[in-house]
Amino acid sequence: MIIQSLVGGALIGIGISILLLFNGKVLGVSGILGEFLNNPLSKNNWRLFFVTGLLVSPFVYNIFYQFPTIEMTSNNLVIVFGGLLVGFGSRLGSGCTSGHGVCGVARLSVRSLIATTTFILFGVLTVYVMQKVLI
Amino acid sequence: MTVLISLLVGIIFGMGLIIAQMTNPSKIIGFLTLGENWDPSLLFVMTSAVFISFFAFNFAKQKTKTLLNLDFEIPKRTEIDLSLLVGAALFGIGWGMVGLCPAPAIVSLAFGNSQTLLFIVSMLSGMYLFKLIKK
């Protein structure tokens, strides 16, 4: 459903805008998670509250609608390797889908546009290899 | 005040991801699968999110302080280096393998799927591994 995508995307954009215009922060989730490891807890207050918000968001959603269905078809080995790559890669590349893909693209950062193109390209290649070559 | 805004943003952002079905790995894999089964949803989500964020970043550019009189912390880096490219490539591979990136993974924890938890533990390990290597 296109409308769902557009409404969901709008909420994502509104969240990014509020965090920027009030707190002055760029919403990048890999950075927020990764910086927990680099800072004393006192400097992580806003990160802690943001992540708490993410964790409770499904329950707020659940007041109005039922939990969505999720289809995860990977086996556990793929999940472990995929998770390691997502964690390591997003830190090495200084961003993920939120920081580079939405915020970086929205502020027309060439660095983020290149990162976003790169991870989409490698995502496409990976899915192709997994579906066509390995199976 | 800033922590309450962070909490609110976490909830709005997380609900946006759920409504846009970005918490469903098969939607991500569908976007990364080119061909007749291609699922363009993620493109609509990103376009909508980028469109709104674009105005917020433009507004921020003209201001020196946020609405709460804080400094803006916007990334200033512009270099296209190996870290950016390799990081984004590794991230893209992991993203394509599982269909999850950091924010949707955290949000999906509430759905009670044990594979989501395994992904998050692996992802945080990957981030920790990066911190170890960087030293």
The interface predicted TM-score of the complex, written ipTM, equals 0.96
Query: What confidence tens digit (pLDDT) does each residue in B45-102 have?
Result: 999 999 999 999 999 999 999 999 999 999 999 999 999 999 999 999 999 999 999 9
Contact between B130 and A89 (Cβ < 8 Å): no
**Position A135 confidence tier, pLDDT thresholds 50, 70, 90:** low
Helical segments of B23-113, H only: 25-32, 41-61, 82-98, 102-108
CB contact under 8 A, B110 and A55: yes
Mean pLDDT in residue range B10-24: 97
Nearest CA in chain A to B19: A8
Residue type, position B18, single letter: I
Number of Cα atoms under 13 Å in the Cβ half of residue A112: 22
Sign, Cα dihedral of A41, A21, B77, A93? positive
Nearest CA in chain A to B114: A76
Mean pLDDT in residue range B97-122: 96
The domain tally of chain B equals 1
Share of chain A above pLDDT 70, in %: 99
Taking the C-alpha atoms of residue A60 and residue A127, their distance in angstroms, rounded to an integer, is 33
B 43-102 near A (Cβ less than 8 A): 44-57, 59-60, 66-68, 70-75, 77-80, 83-102
Closest CA–CA distance from residue A55 to any residue of chain B (Å): 5
Q: Tell me what pLDDT residue A42 has.
A: 77
Query: What confidence tens digit (pLDDT) does each residue in A71-120 have?
Result: 888 899 999 999 999 999 999 999 999 999 999 999 999 999 999 999 99
Closest CA–CA distance from residue B62 to any residue of chain A (Å): 11
Q: Tell me what pLDDT residue B30 has.
A: 96
Annotated domain spans of chain A: 2-133
Query: What confidence tens digit (pLDDT) does each residue in A47-63 have?
Result: 999 999 999 999 999 99
Structure tokens of B29?
């894999």
CB contact under 8 A, B102 and A30: yes
Q: What is the pTM of this model?
A: 0.96
Q: Quote the mean pLDDT of chain B.
A: 96
**Position B134 confidence tier, pLDDT thresholds 50, 70, 90:** confident
CB contact under 8 A, A93 and B88: yes
- Number of inter-chain CB pairs under 8 A, A vs B: 460
B29 pLDDT higher than 70: yes
Structure tokens of A76?
């556990």
Mean pLDDT in residue range A36-47: 84
Q: Tell me what pLDDT residue A63 has.
A: 95
Q: Which residues of B touch A3 (CB under 8 A)?
A: none
Burial (Cβ within 10 Å: 0-12, 13-18, ≥19) of residue A30: buried
Q: Tell me what pLDDT residue A27 has.
A: 97
A13 pLDDT higher than 90: yes
Domain containing B76: what range?
Answer: 2-134
How crowded is residue B129: how many other Cβ atoms within 10 Å of its Cβ?
14
